[in-house]
Amino acid sequence: MQHCVQVWSGLGKMQIDELEKIQNRCVKWIRGEPLASYTDIEYKQHLMNLKLLPIRQLFLYIDLRLLYKILNKKVPISLPLGISFIDKSSLRATRSTFNIINDFDVTSLTDIGVKTKSHSVLLDHFFHRTVRYWNETPYEVRQCDTLDSFLYKLREHLRQK
């Protein structure tokens, strides 16, 4: 399930629901209960016991892991044009910056801004999608110095969702 997640996570809700069903069957198989029927709470508990994340959160986790590596220059990929760190205090309040100013964390420059029209076909593109999640992730997760500490705090944050 983790292969090419950056492509998979752009799928629609119905396709991701189908992948979730496959993961549910895999959990039953791993637990030796192929005919069992789990409630949502039981299913999530079994995932936690197996140290797994639900599909949507797994996709988000892997997307944010790659973005962390990009931002910290651990992979030879750079941010595309139009995506950069934002200093909210330097933005002038206009209709085009309204969401940027109201959605970003004032305390740091770890927020990333995207210069694009809201009707762009690229809004589900990896960078646009992941930047949105990055900015929603708590500051204490984003500020981690090492990849391992970032991944640990990110996993704990996603499990609480």
Question: Element (H or E) spanning 55, and its range?
Answer: helix 55-71
pTM of the model: 0.74
* DSSP H or E run through 159: helix 147-160
pLDDT per residue rounded down to tens, the chain (161 residues): 566 666 666 677 898 889 889 999 999 999 999 899 999 899 989 998 998 889 889 988 999 999 999 988 999 988 887 777 766 555 555 544 444 434 444 334 456 665 555 545 555 678 877 888 888 899 899 989 999 999 999 999 998 87
Radius of gyration of the chain from Cα atoms? 18
The C-alpha atoms of residue 46 and residue 51 are separated, in whole angstroms, by: 8
Handedness of CA 24, 29, 35, 40 (dihedral sign): negative
Distance CA 98, CA 94 (A): 6
